[in-house]
RNA sequence: GGGCGCGUAGCUCAGCGGAAGAGCACCCGCCUUACAAGCGGGGGGUCGUUGGUUCGAACCCAACCGUGCCCACCA
């Protein structure tokens, strides 16, 4: 057998290029078949649990999910390797309004409305959709390589979670934290349901502010509004109590135009005298502020619009849509001479339905609410007192701003898809909340509330309902509180704050998770948001198919520091694909060169180069551990990328070629063992980021069954070696400088360059002359050696070269002159600093010492460069 | 209207008090026996502007100019 590192001969097992498609599916199926992702709640190992933020069953996973999942998978895979009992629990969210809308749209394509089907049949259709869409999502997760425990998959509407919903609803109800009330809520006239505050998105829209005169003569009062049509529902005009202009009118009545009704003028401190005319029309049934004013003054609430936004008051406007009614009302007022100021454009914030973008209508209606004050305070305290850590910490301010100013949460939705509100109404006005173990009341006249709960109500239970709550299951005991919640900062409020509220409430004050890791949004290579209309959307499956799951994950994780948005592009995923291939080839080469993991790692007789790479490896392990603990996955990627590509591939593999092809069998054996160790350690370190290629390589290299449960590398201080690092660092500088010279001089690689190396001893490189010569392609100086260039390489080494007359003296002289100027400048700067008593007096000793060293180095460079210039 | 953040190489970003960095892009030279999805070399930034603190500022402070996001019931 031959020892030469010829890949083709020695390793038919690895092809010349990494082909992810061939590897990924096979590996994933094996992992699942072997139960490697299954958690054991009876294990003695310390627990580490993540619940997957359940994707909505509205469609398929997008690149943002791929980021979210990649972060979690990286974190959990490392913990699994570290010996924790890991649980990553998968599942999906029924996503009430979003899913209902999707299915309704599909039905519309068939010319059917949900009302044609009826409630039961419609819900059945949604379940069909869920089966279809959910299956697609699960398939995508396997393609990404998610190491989730499939045996514990949950759905927010499955039986167990429904029981959890009933349980907590009943408990909140009994504690007086859920109530039913007639309030102004956000209403979507298209979805025909109430919305919570967070389901409303505000945008600055241009409206028209018109001023309308109410009343006549001395009693006339002018109000301004952007929503003229609502004057039909006015039941008062309000002014500030101290406003001298209107004091005399307070308590009187004016005639409301177009209606013939007379309405009172009331004084309310809410009115800003400086805005507009200082007088406000009051429409309690259609404006939240006006509702408050109405409550304070006992005003009637007059509803003048139905759930579709159509005018319901009798008269010329009856049956008009709200947006048709607006100009119609203005026109009618103008005809009566009531418009006192011309309409003027006015930009103001208008709410839109998050799901369909319809302008939200504040509407007085009877809804169920959660009294959030005590829950939100606890949710804030858990972060304030450090029980829950938020990464990045900057986002805690936003979190506090939210939980400390939370309005009561409207939880009833006039939808069919969701958890039905477990409240029954009796024939005599009885209201009964039915718990999970209660019998629903039967008999004449009893009906269940028709509404369903806000989808976030069940999502808020996710970290414990999925573990079996309200039962005291082994899973709940073992894995609650979960270790970390990973999600995008965009749903900090929607979801995280609510899980905190319900988790603390349901679990006796125990937080749902110890850490919240918030990642950013995936953007394109110019930092732009991805959007269908912009055409810059990336389909993760497309990338997985073309570049592999590992490359896709690496591309995403390479930007995934806490709170940071993640720009991606096809060029970058190509780079990541190249990286996977680089690892592949490095291992292929290692195997061909006899890399092995058998036997103890030798400690005696190691070469400087071996000691150097082992030392570097220990530093890398330390850095990566730190970065992982801080969830700085972008830094993890960066550290490992450079270690793998620069240290291992570009230098270590090259530096060890002479040994591996040489005659010293013992030295060769040692290096083979070190090479094996470095490669397999690198594969273990990269496995959380790039699970597939590392699995394929590690199992091939080690002959062991899987890297999934291999031990995570631990840094060994014994193996760090500063001297070896310095030595190799010097060696690299010499080699690089010679290469630079050759490139500058246009010396062809094949062209013979005879050289004499001086000063190696002093630089500690005496033993490495051979390596330097081979890497820099320098020949031994022969009898006809005639130095034509003298090269100082900065570590006290001088290289005299004979390039057989090919030296461009002018170019080299110019470069040296430039270098000399730089060295002079450097020396001057250092001297100036050292001559400054303020600096030497106040700066730390090590800084001063550093400057001294710099000065010495600069002076040495000056001397060397000068002599070189003379020699040229 | 409040709050938060960001402006560093052509692009995307790291560095956050002691000599300006990475990836990609670009330029030059190479099929050197793991890898051309590669190898070697190189150019490119007065770190948004103006002041201040400091022996020393990309880094701390202030103002300004850009820009992004979140929250918000002034008609």
Residue A701 to residue A13: CA distance in whole angstroms? 10
CA distances (Å), A370 to each of A89, A162, A432, in order?
28, 18, 17
Q: Which chain B positions have some atom within 7 A of a protein CB?
A: 2-5, 11-14, 18-19, 22-25, 28-30, 32-42, 54-56, 69-75
Q: Please give the nucleotide, over all strands, whose C1' is closest to the CA of residue A276.
A: B75
Residue A569 to residue A702: CA distance in whole angstroms? 35
Number of other CB atoms surrounding residue A831 within 10 Å: 14
Sign of CA dihedral A522, A527, A531, A535: negative
Question: Which residues have CB under 8 Å from A701's CB, separation 6+?
Answer: A587, A590, A591, A595, A597, A676, A679, A680, A683
Residue A765 to residue A757: CA distance in whole angstroms? 10
Sign of CA dihedral A491, A492, A493, A494: positive
The values of phi and psi at residue A237, to 5°, are -125, 140
Q: Quick one: which of A413, A455, A541 has its CA closest to A57?
A: A455
The tokens for A522 are 């995936």
The tokens for A246 are 């209107």
Q: Please give the nucleotide, over all strands, whose C1' is closest to the CA of residue A272.
A: B74
Length of chain A (residues): 872
pLDDT of the residue at A443: 86
Residue A360 to residue A558: CA distance in whole angstroms? 40
Number of other CB atoms surrounding residue A350 within 10 Å: 17
The answer to whether A152 and A466 have CB atoms below 8 angstroms apart is: yes
Query: Which CA-bearing residue is nearest the C1' of B17?
Result: A843
Rounded to the nearest 10 degrees, what angle do helices A570-592 and A540-547 cross at? 30
Per DSSP, the residues of A47-77 read EEEEE--PPBTTS---HHHHHHHHHHHHHHH
pLDDT of the residue at A675: 96
Q: Please give the nucleotide, over all strands, whose C1' is closest to the CA of residue A346.
A: B75
* A192 CA to B71 C1' distance (Å): 26
The answer to whether A478 and A41 have CB atoms below 8 angstroms apart is: yes
* A735 CA to B64 C1' distance (Å): 50
Residue A75 to residue A225: CA distance in whole angstroms? 54
Residue A181 to residue A419: CA distance in whole angstroms? 20
Give pTM, 2 decimals.
Answer: 0.91
Residue A74 to residue A77: CA distance in whole angstroms? 5
The values of phi and psi at residue A353, to 5°, are -65, 130
Residue A462 to residue A560: CA distance in whole angstroms? 24
* A843 CA to B57 C1' distance (Å): 15
The tokens for A765 are 């490189």
A121, HSE (Cβ side, Cα atoms, 13 Å): 8
Q: Please give the nucleotide, over all strands, whose C1' is closest to the CA of residue A858.
A: B19
pLDDT of the residue at A783: 63
Q: Are strands A798-802 and A754-758 parallel, antiparallel or unpaired?
A: antiparallel
Residue A490 to residue A613: CA distance in whole angstroms? 42
pLDDT of the residue at A68: 94
Question: Which residues have CB under 8 Å from A780's CB, separation 6+?
Answer: A754, A773
pLDDT of the residue at A108: 87
ipTM for the whole complex: 0.95
pLDDT of the residue at A2: 33
| H-helix segments, A309-372 | 322-335
pLDDT along chain A (872 residues), means of 10: 34 74 92 96 96 90 93 96 97 90 88 91 93 91 96 95 96 95 89 85 82 83 87 88 84 85 87 82 89 88 89 86 88 85 75 86 91 91 90 87 86 92 94 92 91 94 96 96 93 87 94 94 88 84 94 94 91 93 94 92 93 95 94 94 95 94 92 96 97 96 95 95 92 90 83 82 85 87 70 76 74 82 86 89 89 87 83 74
């Amino acid at each position: 057998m031959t020892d030469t590192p010829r890949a083709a001969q020695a390793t038919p097992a690895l092809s010349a290029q990494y082909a992810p498609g061939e590897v990924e599916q096979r590996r994933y199926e094996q992992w699942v078949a072997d139960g490697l992702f299954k958690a054991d709640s009876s294990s003695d190992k310390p627990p580490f649990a993540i619940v997957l933020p359940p994707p909505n069953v509205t469609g398929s996973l997008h690149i943002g999910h791929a980021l979210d999942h990649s972060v979690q998978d990286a974190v959990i895979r490392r913990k699994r390797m570290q010996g924790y009992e890991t649980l990553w629990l998968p599942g999906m969210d029924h996503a009430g309004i979003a899913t209902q809308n999707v299915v309704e749209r599909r039905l519309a394509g068939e010319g059917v409305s949900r009302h044609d089907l009826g409630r039961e049949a419609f819900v059945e259709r949604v379940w069909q959709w869920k089966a279809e869409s959910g299956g697609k999502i699960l398939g995508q997760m396997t393609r990404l390589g998610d190491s989730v425990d499939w045996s514990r998959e949950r759905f927010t509407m499955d039986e167990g979670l429904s029981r959890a919903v009933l349980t907590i609803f009943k408990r909140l109800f009994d504690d007086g934290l859920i109530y039913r009330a007639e309030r102004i809520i956000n209403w979507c006239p298209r979805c025909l349901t109430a919305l919570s505050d967070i389901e409303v998105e505000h945008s600055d829209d241009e409206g028209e502010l018109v001023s309308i005169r109410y009343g006549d003569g001395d009693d006339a009062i002018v109000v301004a509004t952007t929503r003229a049509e609502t004057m039909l529902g006015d039941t008062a005009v309000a002014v500030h109590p101290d406003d001298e202009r209107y004091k005399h009118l307070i308590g009187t009545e004016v005639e409301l135009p177009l209606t013939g009704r007379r309405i009172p003028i009331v004084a309310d401190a809410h009115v800003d005298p400086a805005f507009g005319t200082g007088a406000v029309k009051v429409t309690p049934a259609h404006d939240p502020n006006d509702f408050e004013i109405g409550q304070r003054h006992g005003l009637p609430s007059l509803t003048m619009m139905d759930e579709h936004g159509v005018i319901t008051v009798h008269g010329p406007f009856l049956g008009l849509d709200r947006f048709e009614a607006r100009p119609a009302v203005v026109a009618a007022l103008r005809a009566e001479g009531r418009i006192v100021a011309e309409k003027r454009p006015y930009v103001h914030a208008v709410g839109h339905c998050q799901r369909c973008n319809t302008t939200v209508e504040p509407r007085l209606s009877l809804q169920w609410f959660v009294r959030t004050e005590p829950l939100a305070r606890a949710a804030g305290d858990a972060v304030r007192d450090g029980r829950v850590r938020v990464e990045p910490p900057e986002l805690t301010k936003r979190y506090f701003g939210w939980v400390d100013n939370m309005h009561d949460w409207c939880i009833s939705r006039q939808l069919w898809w969701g958890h039905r509100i477990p409240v029954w109404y009796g024939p005599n006005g009885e209201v009964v909340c039915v718990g999970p173990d209660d019998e629903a009341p039967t008999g004449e006249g009893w009906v269940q509330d028709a509404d369903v709960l806000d989808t976030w109500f069940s999502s808020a239970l996710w970290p414990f309902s999925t573990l079996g709550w309200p039962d005291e299951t082994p899973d709940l005991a073992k894995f609650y509180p979960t270790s970390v919640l990973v999600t995008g900062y965009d749903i900090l409020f929607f979801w995280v704050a609510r899980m905190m509220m319900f988790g603390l409430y349901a679990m006796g004050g125990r937080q749902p998770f110890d850490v919240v890791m918030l990642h950013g949004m995936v953007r394109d290579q110019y930092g732009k948001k991805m959007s269908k209309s912009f055409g810059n959307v990336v389909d993760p499956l497309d990338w997985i198919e073309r570049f592999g799951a590992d490359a896709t994950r690496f591309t995403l994780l390479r930007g995934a520091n806490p709170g940071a948005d993640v720009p991606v592009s096809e060029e970058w995923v190509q780079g990541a694909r190249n990286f996977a291939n680089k690892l592949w080839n490095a291992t292929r080469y290692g195997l061909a060169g006899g890399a092995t993991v058998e036997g103890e790692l030798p400690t005696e007789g190691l070469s400087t180069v071996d000691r150097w790479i082992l030392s570097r490896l220990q530093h890398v392990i330390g850095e990566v551990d730190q970065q992982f603990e801080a969830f700085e996955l972008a830094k993890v990627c960066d550290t490992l990328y450079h270690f793998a590509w620069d240290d291992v591939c570009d230098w270590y593999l090259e530096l060890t070629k002479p040994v591996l092809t040489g005659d010293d069998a013992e030295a060769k054996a040692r290096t083979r063992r070190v090479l094996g160790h470095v490669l397999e350690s690198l594969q273990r370190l990269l496995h959380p980021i790039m699970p597939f290629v590392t699995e394929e390589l590690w199992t091939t290299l080690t002959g062991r069954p899987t890297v999934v449960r291999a031990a995570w590398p631990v840094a060994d201080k014994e193996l760090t070696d500063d001297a070896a690092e310095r030595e190799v660092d010097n060696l690299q500088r010499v080699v690089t400088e010679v290469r630079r010279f050759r490139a500058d001089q246009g010396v062809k690689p094949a062209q013979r360059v005879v050289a004499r190396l001086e000063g190696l001893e002093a630089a500690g490189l005496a033993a490495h002359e051979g390596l330097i010569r081979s890497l820099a392609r320098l020949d031994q100086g022969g009898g006809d050696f005639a130095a034509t260039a003298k090269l100082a390489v900065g570590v006290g080494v001088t290289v005299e070269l004979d390039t057989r007359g090919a030296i461009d003296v002018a170019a080299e002289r110019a470069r040296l002159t430039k270098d000399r100027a730089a060295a002079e400048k450097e020396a001057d700067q250092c001297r100036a600093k050292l001559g400054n008593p303020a600096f030497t007096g106040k700066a730390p000793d090590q800084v001063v010492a550093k400057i001294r060293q710099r000065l010495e180095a600069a002076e040495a460079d000056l001397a060397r460069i000068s002599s070189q210039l003379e020699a040229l």
